[in-house]
Amino acid sequence: IDLVSVPPPTVIFVGTAYTYDVNLRSGTESAGVVFSLVGSTVPSNLPITIDPVTGEVSFTASASNGELEYSYTVRAENVLGEGDEESITVDAVNPPATPILSVTPDTVFVLEVGERFPGASATATGNPTPALSISGTLPDFLEFDPPTGLLSASSTKPAPVEADIGGHSFEIVATNSEGTDSATIDIRVIAAPPAVDSITPAAGRRQADVPVVVRGAGFVSAAAPAIRLELGAYRETLATTFVDVNTLSAVVPSDPSRPSGVYDVVVDQGSSTTLAKRFTMTEGDGSTLSGTIATDTVLTALESPHVVTRNVSVENGATLSIEPGAVVMFAGESNLRIDVGVASAGALVANGGDPGVGDQVVFTRFQGVGAPAPSGHYRGLRFGANNISAATALRNVVIEFGGRRNAATEQGAIEVLAGSAPRIHDSIIRESMNHGFYAQSGAGSETANWFDRNQLTTHGRSPISMGSDDVSTLGAILDLLGNGQDRVYVRGSTVSRPDASWTNYGVPFYLSAGLVVRGGSTMSVEAGTEMRFASGRRLQISTGGTSGENGTFVGPGTPQAPIRMVADTGTWNGIHLDDNIQAGSLLRNVRVEGFSGSVNGGLRVDPGERVAIVEGCLIQSSEAGSVGVYLAGGAGVSSFENNVVDTESLSVDAAMPGFSDVLRTSSVYEAPLRVRGSSAAGVDMVWSRPAASDTSTQAIRPTGNLGVTNGSLLIEAGNRIEMPLNGQLAMTNSQLAVDGTPSEPVIFEPASGAAYWNRIRLRGPGATGASRITHAVLQSAGSDPALGASTQRAALAVEANSGVPATPAISNTSIVDSNGYGMTFANETHCGGGCNDNIIVGSRFSALRMVANFVGRFGTGNALAGNNTSGTLGHEGVWVAGDVLDTTAAWPANDVPYVVQGDIELRQSYPLDPVPVLTIEPGAELRFASDRRLRVGEGNDGVLDARGTASQPITFTSIDATAPVFWRGIDFNQGSDGSMLDHVVVSYGGRSNGTGNVNFRSGAVVTIGVATLSLSEEYAAVIYTGSAPMFTGPTTNRVYELNGQASNPGSGDPAFDCVRDIATGTCNPL
């Protein structure tokens, strides 16, 4: 049989039932056919059924399966077992549906100006899938993403601005072929809650129109801010005028039925801010107050206002108590005041409780019933020395419109006389004609917290005026902004309280007379404080002299909150640390700015204990002649790290040893540094390279001679020392360490306007080790060029002290254009072989002057040519002073000759000493002055080893071959055994009658190899009786020529071109 069916349905809707009747193809029918389901289904758990007789298949396309292609297989089989199978599929799809749109989390939003939209998400169901879009105007502070349905803050304008204040409405629409759905989005942009600081006046009569001004910040005109008064359930909105972003004005209209009491002040501009319990409305006609109060008296809130008609004096031990919510009024344009404890003991108690919770007490100017708005000022409250401090207390009090005393300017709404310290807390003092709070010198208390947590604002002058010694008694929390002069006006100049701590109130201190910290006081200034000095004033810590007074200053600023000291107008005179400053004195992260160029320095330190710590400071002035740091005499500091000294003339002006105290690699110097001519004993100093902010080197400029005794001076790489005319640096029994580098040499040169300087003088041993100079340049030293040659005139003079020599190591150093020698070494001084690879050029005389016994302990690799610019005979090379040479040494071949100015005696000083061996290296040249000689042996032993090479012979000759002068030659004496001459040239010897270039005295045993003996005044050589020189090799190894100059000047006499043997009376070439 064949299974066939009418084509089955290809599509059904999700959630509907499926039926299909399976039939056999016509002609294949058979009796007993049974229909069944075989194989698997999709899904596998499909609840499908089939009628075995009719072949009807049924199932439900479950909604939980969603859209899905269902499949199953049917089998039809007859009684003969014949059958057929057919697999059938059908797609279940969702039925068409109109869109259903939902928006989360909400469709209504309120945003403040500057507040980002929090985001919303739109989703829509429907078939086909709906498309999302916007209908209407999308605000430019939003953006919408149709594929995701996300409504979010704009990436280009992420928050609304004031121009956006108001309502914004648009629709999100979902659309498909079946229809649409939409949701309306309503966004209201409001101004941010304003800051509300004050309402002025703080009180008024309900029987009169009371103009008020509300001050704060963030008032927005477009939001139509309104002032509202609230008292319990009572609400009253005032017709409000927008003045500016910080000011609103209104009139509280006369209304005798308005409840009396202390109102909250609300400013509503869509969002609102409440200033709690800050406007008092009085109820009755009031009472009057005048004259002396000699008994305890209470001013009630109900009977307010209490009107002061004449000056009031609380005395005779009386207490004037003012209830919370009470109002005291003074006539404007008057000098009316309330005195407390001035004439005799008295107290004032006005406790309004916690601000914003309790009912404020108000002192204000008088307004009559039904009268127009008041104007003018009165004097205020005055507390005398007889004030009963234990009783007097003002809390949550408003004192406004005081501070008048005719034309006087040194007044305040509150005056505190010397010896008085009334407790005033959590109160507001404002709108004074002059200062807000005026305290005589001597007011305040060190032991009681008497003036704290108060606001002083909108005064004609400063919020506070008080004596310099009393500032430290003020409390820690004071709001002093919004005045004619936002500063604490400090009168007087003395700070002498033991612990004088000045708080940073966010406004500067104005020092009208400067400050002197004395009397053992420790003055500390909080980080972030600004101190403004009157022109020509200064901050002085301690007083000088043996009868001076101790003082300590502690200024611990921070990088984020430095302490600033500056002139209020013009220039000031900086900081003076006098010589009685005490340990603990600290300037850290302090900005010292704008000081005068006529004072010694922005920071002056006088001699005394080196205790001051100066770290992280800026010392800056652009005034002509300004000096950053001035150390008087031998003054110094304990620490000077991470400072910036930015001045017009000099960064530092100091003497030794203090100069090194203020020279640190961590600090920046924008001008040169001066070290005054001075000396230091027993101290170790370091001169770091003073670098500017652009990393360039600032010059160090001595003003005169500098001397160090029994100490040390380290000059670090990169320094430039500009020496004064004829100035010198003298080290006596002290170590000089000049540690330049190839890229950062240390430079010594004349200061501007100085043609030359004198020298570096090293005398005696270093207290902490031998001196060293490496990678330095000494330019134009050597004293006055008009002076002649002297052992003292050199760029570098090395001497002994008390018989103990200096033995410096000098390397890779250039001495250029010395007006004397390049270097001079006195007897016994030398380098120990450590003077290597130096350049000496342009000296007026010799590059180097040394004593013969120490020439071999100089060094090698030195470039010594190009000197003797004066053309003085005898200075063409290394000037060698005659001496007993008793120490083994080697004389290297330099690029200049050795010019021997005296006799050299090569021998032991004592018979038991080691035998000295003088090695003359190949290529060396020795020039001898007239009548001088090199004598080997004679009494004690010595060995000369002069072995040159064919290409580098050793030369012994005259100091002057142009206009010949003759020397006495080389004398080998008894004790010269082992001496050798080979590949040598000896000329212009034989100065003594009958002698030669080389003389072999009795007992001499010397070996002579290749030699040229020429131009002797007498013989080429002379062998004396008892000597046994050994001439090695053929006679052709030796050349004898032009000798006998005495007999025949110029051409010589061949009769003398020989070796004269005195014992045999012969003269032959050997």
Q: What is the pLDDT of residues 938-949, one digit of tens each?
A: 889 999 999 999
What is the reported pLDDT for 407? 80
The tokens of 469 are what?
């010694």
Domain containing 142 — which CATH number?
2.60.40.10
What is the reported pLDDT for 874? 86
Sequence-distant (6+) residues with CB within 8 A of 951 are none
Is residue 874 assigned to a domain?
Answer: no
What is the reported pLDDT for 880? 97
- In the DSSP assignment, the letter for residue 162 is G
* pLDDT beyond 70 at 237: yes
Instruction: Mark whether 1065 and 1006 lie in a shared domain.
Output: yes
What is the reported pLDDT for 961? 78
The tokens of 589 are what?
């992260």
Is residue 876 assigned to a domain?
Answer: no
Mark which of 149, 168, 190 sits at the end of a domain: 190
Residue 910 CB burial class (10 angstroms; 0-12, 13-18, ≥19): exposed
What is the reported pLDDT for 29? 73
Residue 71 CB burial class (10 angstroms; 0-12, 13-18, ≥19): middle
In the chain, how many domains are there?
Answer: 7
Residues 98-108, mean pLDDT to the nearest whole number: 96
* pLDDT beyond 80 at 656: yes
* pLDDT beyond 80 at 902: yes
* pLDDT beyond 90 at 573: yes
Digit-coded pLDDT (tens) for 990-1008? 998 899 999 999 999 999 9
Percent of the chain with pLDDT over 70: 100
Is residue 1045 assigned to a domain?
Answer: yes
What is the reported pLDDT for 381? 97
What is the reported pLDDT for 4? 58
**pLDDT band at 964; cut points 50, 70, 90:** confident
Which stretch of 20-24, 172-176, 551-555, 621-625 has the lowest confidence by average pLDDT?
Answer: 20-24
Is residue 877 assigned to a domain?
Answer: no
Interatomic CA distance for residues 358 and 443, integer angstroms:
29
Instruction: Mark whether 583 and 480 lie in a shared domain.
Output: no
**pLDDT band at 766; cut points 50, 70, 90:** confident
Digit-coded pLDDT (tens) for 39-82? 888 899 899 999 998 889 999 999 899 989 999 999 998 888 88
What is the reported pLDDT for 373? 87
Is residue 79 assigned to a domain?
Answer: yes
Instruction: Mark whether 303 and 396 lie in a shared domain.
Output: yes
* pLDDT beyond 90 at 547: no
Instruction: Mark whether 585 and 504 lie in a shared domain.
Output: yes
In 3D space, the residue among 428, 486, 435 whose CA is nearest the CA of residue 460 turns out to be 435
Instruction: Mark whether 623 and 734 lie in a shared domain.
Output: no
Instruction: Mark whether 438 and 319 lie in a shared domain.
Output: yes
Assess contact for 988 and 958: CB atoms under 8 A.
yes
Is residue 875 assigned to a domain?
Answer: no
Instruction: Mark whether 599 and 709 lie in a shared domain.
Output: no
Concatenated DSSP letters for 752-816? TT-S---EEEEES--TTS--EEESEEEES-SS-TTS---TT-EEEEEEEETTEE---EEES-EEE
Instruction: Mark whether 345 and 380 lie in a shared domain.
Output: yes
* pLDDT beyond 80 at 27: no
Residue 930 belongs to domain spanning: 882-1070
Mark which of 282, 302, 317 sits at the end of a domain: 282
Instruction: Mark whether 354 and 480 lie in a shared domain.
Output: yes
Instruction: Mark whether 1002 and 888 lie in a shared domain.
Output: yes
Is residue 166 assigned to a domain?
Answer: yes
**pLDDT band at 25; cut points 50, 70, 90:** confident
Average pLDDT, the chain: 95
Highest mean pLDDT (candidates 51-60, 454-463, 783-792): 454-463
Mark which of 173, 190, 207 sits at the end of a domain: 190
Q: Is the pTM of this model over 0.85?
A: no
What is the reported pLDDT for 974? 95
Assess contact for 539 and 531: CB atoms under 8 A.
yes
**pLDDT band at 3; cut points 50, 70, 90:** low
Instruction: Mark whether 269 and 152 lie in a shared domain.
Output: no
Show the CA angle centred on residue 831, arms to residues 708 and 763, nearest 5°.
Answer: 25
Instruction: Mark whether 744 and 843 lie in a shared domain.
Output: yes
